[in-house]
Copies of this chain bind each other. A is one copy, B any other.
Amino acid sequence: MTALPEALLAAVARDFPADFLSVDPSDLATFGRDWTKVHEPRPTAVALPRTTDEVSRLLRLCTAFQVPVVPSGGRTGLAAGAVAAQGEVVVSLSRMRRMNPVDVLGGTVRVQAGAVTEEVHRHVAEHGLTWPVDFASKGSSQVGGNIATNAGGVKVIRYGLTRQWVLGLEVVLASGEVLELGGALEKNNTGIDLRQLFIGSEGTLGIITEATLKLTRLPGKLDVLLFAVPNLAGVLSLFREARTGPFVITAYEFFTEKCMARVRRHRSVREPLSSPSEYYVLLEVERAEPEALEGWITSLFERGVVTDGTLAQHAGEAAAIWALREGISESLSATGMPHKNDIALPIQELEGFCAELESVFEARYPGWEIALFGHIGDGNLHVNVMKPDAMEKAAFLARTHEADHTMFDLVRKYRGSISAEHGIGLLKKDYLAYSRSGTEIEIMRAIKRALDPLGIMNPGKVF
């Protein structure tokens, strides 16, 4: 562990609250990592500011002493973007969780970056509003982290990515300078929109300290359906039908029987359908007229678009269907050793891609089970490759790197993305060139140099 310069420590002791900086080993271990468990956390200290001014003054010091910094939110990331493994100072936003009163007329709310996603949901729900950024980790993820990673989730098909729900940002640059970008404005066409640079920048350009969020009306009654289809072509045919169905789609998720079998082994589940099927689709819809929805479902059966299906009759049944989908990740880890990827393909390429992936893996990695699920309405696949039970862990890990290159070759061939929603961080950095050209990476570096000339912001991440 590197030591911080004496003069920096003296300045912190003089100009900041006594509890501002922690070097407690348990804090270092906690704040040095995210949900990935690949890198050993090794920060030098954890700073816990309460105000933007404290963030600004700290970054000025870090610039003066060239101390690297890792911005840190709820640390629920899956790409090791918030990992501090190189003696950095972690700047945790967790004390900055103030939420201003909701601007009901404008449909906006300004919050500090450390506000927890689910607390924002609660804060605005009493006005019939929501910030529609929604995923499993919302109970601990923070607004600043959501924005810095342009978070996705299960409602993207209805609401888009986090990028669409950010009106204004307050950002502290490495120099300590505070930028106010945008504000409570829907429209502001005054030159290059610098907000967009920070959305999805994974902490490499500055620290987001406050945000003005765009809100929308809470959805009306939601209907949840589970369907069985024989193959991926069936998943896509049903998607085509749903696109023109008598409702608004709020989620279109799929998973395979291989995933379902793992959920069954790990949890006691009530099976909503009478018999297993190779592929399942979870469809959630809003504003459906009961008769129109029933008619639509009947027609699917009559035309053989689905082989089985059920419409949740009450909230408990809806939750049980969602539990199947949301239990997959945990069940895969509980019943084996998954190697995870999060990729996106143009929807029309999904079938070709998956068929080729299966056959290439069968040939090169016999016995490796591929558990597929994801937000297929967005072309987003979570590809979990399971270690064969008989294979040594070390032998498996030694080959996953090569297997990733194999998969990403196919992703590139089918014009997809190697990271749909998780970002690049440390985990996918070696593979960035599969999705971005040399010139693009050079332009990113130039932007980085313009905003962070000393390279102290989250060094080594992304590019």
A 436-451 binary contact with B (CB < 8 Å = 1; else 0): 1101110110110011
Would you call A415 an interface residue if the criterion is a C-beta within 8 Å of the partner chain's C-beta atoms? yes
Contact of A443 among B128, B421, B450 (CB under 8 A): B450
Q: Is A139 an interface residue (CB 8 A)?
A: no
* Best-surrounded residue of A104, A106, A189, A236 (most CB of chain B within 10 A): A189
Q: Which residue of B lies closest to A175 (CB)?
A: B439
Q: How far is the CA of A191 from the CA of B463 in the complex (A)?
A: 8
From A106, A196, A344, residue with most partner B Cβ within 10 Å? A106
Given A244-B217, A447-B447, the answer on whether A191 and B106 have CB atoms closer than 8 Å is no
Residues in A176-203 with C-beta less than 8 Å from chain B: 177, 179-181, 183-194, 196-197, 199-201
The digit string for A413-431, where 1 denotes a CB below 8 A from any CB of B, is: 0011111111110001000
A–B pairs, 19, beta carbons within 8 Å: A105-B236, A107-B243, A152-B189, A156-B187, A157-B186, A160-B186, A177-B439, A185-B415, A186-B379, A188-B435, A189-B200, A189-B420, A190-B436, A192-B205, A192-B444, A196-B197, A197-B197, A443-B450, A443-B451
* A401 contacts chain B at the CB level, 8 A cutoff: no
Inter-chain contact A185/B416, CB cutoff 8 Å = yes
Shortest CB-to-CB span from A208 to chain B, Å, is 15
Q: Is the CB of B104 within 8 A of A240?
A: yes
> Does A336 sit at the interface, judged by CB under 8 A?
no
Contact A189:B419 (CB < 8 A) given known A179-B437, A443-B194: yes
Taking a contact as CB atoms under 8 Å apart, the answer to whether B415 and A192 are in contact is no
Let me know if A348 is at the binding interface, CB within 8 A. Answer: yes
Given contacts A190-B419, A421-B187, contact A179 B439 (CB under 8 A): yes
Let me know if B437 and A180 touch, CB within 8 A: yes
Residue A210 is within 8 A (CB to CB) of chain B in the complex: no
Could you say which of B177, B217, B424 contacts A191, with CB atoms under 8 Å apart?
B424
Residues of B within 8 A of A161 (CB): 186-187
Q: A443-B194, A450-B450 are in contact. Are A422 and B189 (CB under 8 A)?
A: yes
Which chain B residues lie closer than 8 Å to A107 at the CB level? Answer: 243
Sorted nearest first, the 8 A-B pairs with minimum C-beta distance are A196-B196, A446-B450, A184-B346, A106-B347, A187-B420, A188-B417, A190-B435, A186-B378
Nearest-CB residue, chain B, relative to A244: B128
A287 to B389, CA, bound (A): 54
The answer on a CB contact under 8 Å between B344 and A185 is: yes
CA distance A152 to B267 in the complex (A): 50
A239 at the B interface (CB under 8 A):
yes
Enumerate chain B residues within 8 angstroms of A194, measured Cβ to Cβ: 440, 443-444
Contact assessment for B106 and A421 in the assembled complex, using a CB-CB cutoff below 8 Å: no
Q: Are A346 and B435 in contact (CB under 8 A)?
A: no
Q: Chain A, 221-243, contact with B by CB distance < 8 Å: what is the 0/1 string?
A: 00000000000000010011001
CB proximity of A3 to chain B, nearest CB, Å = 32
What CA separation (Å) do A243 and B415 show in the bound complex? 40
**Smallest CB separation, A344 vs chain B (Å):** 5
Q: Mark A107-151, 1 if CB is under 8 A from B, else 0.
A: 110000000000000000000100000000000000000000110
**Cβ-defined partner of A164 (8 Å) among B160, B239, B435:** B160
A197, closest chain B residue (CB): B192
Q: Is the CB of A189 within 8 A of B421?
A: yes
Chain B neighbourhood of A244, CB < 8 A: 128, 217
Q: Is the CB of B189 within 8 A of A150?
A: yes
Are A187 and B239 touching (Cβ within 8 A)?
no
Residues of B within 8 A of A104 (CB): 240
Additional A-B contact list (6), CB under 8 Å, known A189-B200, A196-B196, A447-B450: A105-B243, A149-B189, A179-B440, A184-B346, A190-B419, A443-B450
Contacts of A150 in B (CB 8 A): 189, 193
A312 proximal to B (CB < 8 A): no
